[in-house]
Amino acid sequence: MIYSRSQHPISRSHISENALKVLYRLKSAGHEAYLVGGCVRDLLLGREPKDFDVVTNASPEQVRKIFRNSRLVGRRFRLAHVRFGRDIIEVATFRGQQDTHKQRQLNEEGRLLCDNVYGTLEQDVWRRDFTINALYYNIRDFSLVDHVGGMTDLKAGLLRLIGDPEVRYREDPVRMLRAVRFAVKLGFTFETATEQPLTTLAPLLRDIPPARLFDECLKLFLAGSGVQTFEMLRHYQLFGALFPDAERILATEAEGFPRLFIVKGLENSDRRLTEGKTVTAYFLFAVLLWHVVRQEAEQQEQQGEPAQAAWQNAATRALNRQIRHVALPRRITQAMREVWLLQLRFQHRSGQRPYRLLEHPRFRAAYDFLCLRISTEGVDPKLGQWWETFQQADEAEQRQMINAHTASRRRTGNNPRRRYRNNRTNQNKRSHDV
């Protein structure tokens, strides 16, 4: 169906200037040019699109010749990125229908490995994922092209896959994550056939490159709806495909503490994003994997491993396992490790240690993490209060706080250094007895 300009609310004043430049230049070169996907969907919903994607009958090589400020990217899907400073307009060529074509390669699970066969708009629409993402805005006459009922589903708040859902999920299992993300982001409900295969096909995500799943996790958890996304991923057993160790602990949690910790952490991040504040990805991943590390570290401590070594080893093992599923970059894993290990240092409030901890670049994140533990894990609130006061105090007040804490520990006999010496003495005695 074709909706004329008078039948839809999209105005060129709502489209980015750079996207319009691309559309008009393709049109001037004699090619078809359309906006497509999430940008059209969001414009129809009265939202401001983050990106503007263009589709055309021009081949990637032809697009490259038209735009000097472009480069070709992608192997599985060949397309062009037209760059205007930091702004990138993605230009794709219409995909074709070619089930038996030699260039369309599937693996044994039905996943699409290569698909650089081009076609027409009428063919391209059936290669899109959801009906609401298969709406085309034509720059030639400002009409809206809808071949799959996307406008009807948009008005009904319905998320529907184009074609056989099981086949489409097998072609690209990441569509299951996109389904959850769109359902949460837009507040839409699943069409029955689109929802049914999610749980049974969730294991297919294990075959997706971990680097790609990292990008998807950022979209899932850094969009301001982390709590709802987390709950929906768990409901459809998709979370376990991304974070198997965390899901294992959640499945055997005692009195809901790990789940409460994660939900509180996601709530804090969602609130910050709503307020326009920044959120660091490493903090969220540190929250998701905290109880994995904690459980393993405590087990090692019970076996006689010193605390510092136990936590370092636990963090290394947990991260090494996790990156097989979601490829967390080194900058992320290093920051996660620091946040975890700094939790041990909050207990040390004598001598120069508090000053050194306060100067640590991850102190603020680690302190926020401590506050999260206090609110969910039963960590003594006085510890958080002490550090909150210490941050705000001047140098003289900080010295008084340290001296008071040191004197208190001496009065109670709670001296870690003395315990360490006693432990070493006892170990030496046992070795001589042997």
Catalytically annotated residue among 124, 129, 153, 245: 129
394 classed as catalytic: no
51 classed as catalytic: yes
433 classed as catalytic: no
Closest CA to 191 of 172, 168, 171: 168
Catalytically annotated residue among 42, 53, 124, 270: 53
Q: Which amino acid is at 350?
A: S
Q: Are 216 and 222 in contact (CB under 8 A)?
A: no
Task: Provide the annotated active-site residues.
Answer: 51, 53, 129
